[in-house]
């Protein structure tokens, strides 16, 4: 480079010196144009007739030299950029190859898989929960326990329960052993999880009972390269495979079998390619062939359920279609001797669910709640960026064949008899829409849900066991709406939520007593003091709306330990207070107790998970 600049400098110097030298006799000077003999005009170095050419001026020479230098420098800079790009491409290629090789040697940890419905979470973390509080500060009867352990879900925010977390059994400890390793075949990963739930609760005699439950142990084999194949088997409890996204709409767990014995093994096979995933699975359930009395020994039968669905997830858009078919066994209320075909009383049920979601920018996360989601994870929001939003909706409908409540109905006089079919289709439908918005550290959630009465009692099945609703029954579906706002400051979240629910209700033909159904019923639900999801109103009384208000503070003290405080007020005028009759000693319903209807409660929790 230095030699090049020296040559250019010498060239410029010589040229300038030549311009300043005196003109030789007979040679035109720089300032005098050459004259062609025999021509009346001068030629200044142009035209075919010119025999001489004038020398360049000093300014022209300087401009020419500057252009040559600039062109050469630009060429050198272009070569340097090409060489740098080539080096970066080679380095990137080596880095990608090294990363791919490292991924082969160390398989990725699964943790909790967040894809709705299909890629259900397999692994659950160990959890230990501490909860202290008062179910109702205004009432301290046995129907409103003070500081204790065990179920408290009647006093929880009912929309939190719809989203999947509640105060249910907060004396529960979850133990999980998890192992993952690569296979002898490249890109093959195996996972094993053994899980147990330890629950403490008071029984009706006020003794603390400790129960050990199987918590979803699984074996999983996964092959992932350009596509994904995953086989998951649950030897005891396959509740993690079910239809639906919102827990308040999810269907196909073991509660779907009315004669549930608590043992429902199952397996699913999933295939994923790019943004598309498809799965199919089955469940098996062992149950009594007929309804048994007390400790009576009856034959057993195995019934099955089939599951399947497809999900598309890309660019913030998620859409899934799922379905399930479950054989619930014989209808124990139907006399097979009255049937033309003995199989006509078999309860065959199916469900179809459609879910869609659009997420703009970063994940919004979950609303605040006193407890966590059932799988042990609270999805924390991502606050990167000033704005984010989410919209999602779900529709589910179910069907099963139950005993027709209008069978052998007499009408039109003594001689006119209308015999309806002995069985009838029982439909259950529900839907939910949620919208969420984040601005900086402020989040806003809105949720609206509709659940028909038949959907709420579908797993019972029916409000009257194994029977459809009569044609002239007065039925009202459930409508709910809630609004939640929270603000994050460092490791703290401050939140306020409120909601209102029009509860579902049922009034039988000719009756004056309305039954209120506040949440989903199951056939084998335990009767607990604070579990009041079904209540009979006084004669002539109509169901009233339920409202709640809650203030929550959550602190993420460490990645493994979180603390929360919640103060809530619930107004539910559909609640009675059983009190003993002074004459007979039997409980009678007392309806005019404002302390029972207006519930003020608080809870403090400390949760650890690892």
Residue 201 domain-assigned (yes or no) = yes
Percent of the chain with pLDDT over 70: 73
Asked if 241 contacts 220 with a C-beta cutoff of 8 angstroms, the reply is no
DSSP string, 189-241: EEEEEEEEEEEEEE-TTS-EEEEEEE---EEEEEEESSSEEEEEEESSB-TTS
Residue 27 has pLDDT above 70, yes or no: no
Residue 379 domain-assigned (yes or no) = yes
Residue 247 has pLDDT above 90, yes or no: no
| Percent helix, strand and coil across the chain, each to the nearest 5 | 15, 40, 45
Residue 110 has pLDDT above 70, yes or no: no
Query: H or E element: which one contains 102?
Result: helix 58-105
The domain total for the chain is: 1
Residue 221 domain-assigned (yes or no) = yes
Q: Higher-confidence residue: 365 or 442?
A: 442
Q: Higher-confidence residue: 508 or 27?
A: 508
Average pLDDT over every residue of 357-373: 83
Residue 52 has pLDDT above 50, yes or no: no
In tens, the pLDDT along 190-201 reads: 988 888 888 776
Of 212-216, 247-251, 532-536, give the range with the top mean pLDDT: 247-251
pLDDT at residue 234 in the model:
94
Residue 215 has pLDDT above 80, yes or no: yes
pLDDT at residue 609 in the model:
79
Residue 121 domain-assigned (yes or no) = no
Residue 59 has pLDDT above 60, yes or no: yes
Buried b (16+ CB within 10 A) or exposed e, 340-358: eeeeebbbebebbbbbbbe
Residue 32 has pLDDT above 50, yes or no: no
pLDDT at residue 35 in the model:
40
Asked if 440 contacts 122 with a C-beta cutoff of 8 angstroms, the reply is no
Average pLDDT over every residue of 596-608: 84
Give the lowest-confidence range in 127-131, 388-392, 550-554: 127-131
Give the lowest-confidence range in 109-113, 131-135, 321-325: 109-113
In tens, the pLDDT along 118-159 reads: 334 556 678 888 777 777 777 766 555 555 554 555 555 677
Range of the domain at 217: 127-609
Q: How confident is the model at residue 63 (pLDDT cuts 50, 70, 90)?
A: confident
Average pLDDT over every residue of 23-28: 42
Residue 107 domain-assigned (yes or no) = no
pLDDT at residue 145 in the model:
53
Residue 236 domain-assigned (yes or no) = yes
In tens, the pLDDT along 424-435 reads: 899 999 999 999
Asked if 438 contacts 388 with a C-beta cutoff of 8 angstroms, the reply is yes
Under DSSP, the state recorded for 337 is G
In tens, the pLDDT along 452-466 reads: 999 999 998 888 888
Residue 87 domain-assigned (yes or no) = no
Average pLDDT over every residue of 358-385: 79
Residue 16 has pLDDT above 70, yes or no: no
What residue has token string 């699964």?
A: 110
Q: Higher-confidence residue: 33 or 325?
A: 325
Q: How confident is the model at residue 72 (pLDDT cuts 50, 70, 90)?
A: confident
Residue 345 has pLDDT above 60, yes or no: yes
The mean predicted confidence, pLDDT, of the chain is 78
CATH number assigned to the domain comprising residue 183: 2.40.170
In the chain, the N- to C-terminal Cα span, in Å, equals: 64
pTM recorded for the entire structure: 0.76
Average pLDDT over every residue of 167-172: 56
């Amino acid at each position: 480079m230095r030699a090049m600049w020296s040559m250019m400098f010498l060239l410029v110097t010589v040229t300038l010196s030549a311009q300043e030298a005196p003109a030789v006799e007979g040679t035109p000077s720089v300032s005098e144009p050459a004259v062609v003999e025999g021509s009346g005009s001068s030629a200044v170095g142009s035209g075919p007739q010119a025999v001489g050419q004038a020398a360049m001026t000093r300014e022209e020479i300087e401009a020419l030299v500057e252009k040559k230098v600039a062109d050469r420098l630009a060429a050198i800079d272009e070569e340097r950029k090409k060489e740098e790009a080539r080096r970066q491409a080679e380095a990137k290629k080596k880095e990608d190859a090294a990363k791919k090789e490292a991924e082969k040697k160390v398989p990725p940890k699964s943790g909790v898989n967040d894809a709705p419905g299909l890629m259900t979470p397999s692994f659950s973390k160990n959890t230990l929960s501490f909860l202290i509080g008062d179910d109702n500060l205004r009432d301290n009867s046995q129907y409103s326990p003070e500081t204790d352990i065990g179920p408290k879900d009647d006093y929880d925010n009912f929309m939190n329960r719809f989203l999947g977390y509640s105060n249910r059994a907060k004396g529960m400890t979850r133990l999980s052993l998890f192992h993952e390793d690569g296979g002898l075949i490249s890109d093959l990963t195996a996972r094993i999880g053994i899980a147990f739930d330890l629950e403490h609760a008071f029984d009706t005699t006020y003794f603390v009972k400790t129960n050990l439950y199987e918590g979803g142990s699984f074996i999983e084999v996964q092959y992932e390269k350009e596509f994904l194949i995953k086989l998951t088997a649950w030897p005891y409890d396959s509740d993690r495979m079910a239809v639906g996204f919102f827990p308040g709409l999810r269907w196909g767990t073991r509660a779907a079998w009315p004669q549930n014995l608590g043992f429902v093994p199952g397996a699913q096979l999933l295939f994923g390619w790019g943004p598309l995933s498809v799965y199919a699975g089955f469940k098996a359930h062992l149950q009594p062939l007929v309804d048994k009395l007390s400790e009576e020994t009856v034959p057993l039968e195995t019934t099955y359920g089939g599951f399947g669905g497809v999900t598309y997830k890309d660019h913030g858009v998620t859409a899934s279609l799922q379905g399930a078919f479950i054989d619930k066994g014989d209808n124990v209320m139907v006399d097979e001797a009255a049937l033309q075909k003995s199989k006509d009383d078999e309860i065959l049920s199916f469900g179809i669910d459609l879910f869609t979601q659009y997420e703009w920018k970063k994940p919004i996360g979950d609303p605040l709640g006193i407890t966590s989601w059932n799988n042990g994870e609270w999805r924390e929001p991502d606050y990167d960026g000033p704005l984010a939003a989410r919209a999602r909706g779900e529709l589910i409908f179910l069907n099963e064949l139950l005993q027709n409540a209008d069978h052998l109905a007499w009408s039109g006089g003594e001689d006119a008899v209308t015999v309806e079919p002995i069985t009838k289709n029982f439909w259950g439908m529900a839907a939910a829409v949620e919208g969420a918005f984040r601005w900086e550290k402020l989040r806003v959630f809105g949720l609206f849900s509709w659940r028909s009465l038949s959907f709420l009692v579908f797993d019972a099945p029916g409000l009257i066991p194994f029977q459809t609703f009569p044609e002239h029954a007065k039925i009202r579906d459930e409508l709910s709406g809630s609004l939640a706002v929270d603000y994050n400051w460092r490791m703290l979240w401050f939140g306020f939520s409120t909601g209102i629910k029009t509860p579902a209700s049922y009034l039988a033909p000719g009756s004056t007593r309305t039954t209120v159904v506040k949440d989903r019923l199951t056939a084998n639900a335990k009767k607990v003091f604070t579990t009041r999801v079904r209540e009979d109103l006084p004669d002539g009384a109509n169901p009233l709306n339920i409202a709640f208000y809650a203030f929550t503070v959550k602190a993420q003290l460490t990645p493994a330990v979180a603390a929360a405080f919640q103060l809530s007020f619930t107004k539910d005028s559909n609640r009675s207070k059983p009190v003993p009759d002074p004459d007979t000693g039997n409980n009678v319903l007392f309806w005019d107790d404002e302390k029972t209807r207006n519930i003020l409660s608080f809870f403090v929790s400390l949760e650890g998970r690892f």
